[in-house]
Amino acid sequence: MEYFLIAVYAFLILLGIGIILGVLLVLFSKIWEVKEDERIKEVEKMLPNFNCGACGKAGCHDMAVAIVKGEVSKLSQCKPGKKDKNYDPIIEYMSSHPDEDGTKHVPTI
């Protein structure tokens, strides 16, 4: 019975700490929110999202930022990407969504 009580305490305490910290994190992320280019989110959705790092970037988010900025010329950097699933939709999206001043950064395969 005693052990059971200890387990319950451990569970409750960790749950409590988790909830408090989670709420704090949400609060801080709302306070210090950074507005990002909406296209980055869209491009990230079209990437495989394995976060494998094979492209040389820190993850799929980093790769999406680079694509939107026009720093990526060849999409085949993304090794797990497939032509019809990933590359083609991104090329289509990037050619239909230019920068605010009208310049297009369209990568090739």
Minimum CB separation of residue 73 from other proteins in Å reads: 20
Which CB atom, from 17 or from 52, has the smaller least distance to other proteins? 17
Minimum CB separation of residue 4 from other proteins in Å reads: 13
Task: For the chain, count helices (H), then strands (E).
Answer: 4, 0
DSSP alpha helices (H): ranges in 1-109?
2-31, 38-46, 60-69, 88-96
Minimum CB separation of residue 77 from other proteins in Å reads: 18
Which CB atom, from 51 or from 86, has the smaller least distance to other proteins? 51
Distance CA 15, CA 50 (A): 29
Q: Which of 70, 75, 69 is nearest to 87 (CA)?
A: 75
The residue ranges that bind other proteins (CB under 8 A) are: 6, 9-10, 13-14, 17-18, 21, 24-25, 28-29, 32-34, 58
Six token digits for residue 66: 């680079």
Which CB atom, from 33 or from 84, has the smaller least distance to other proteins? 33
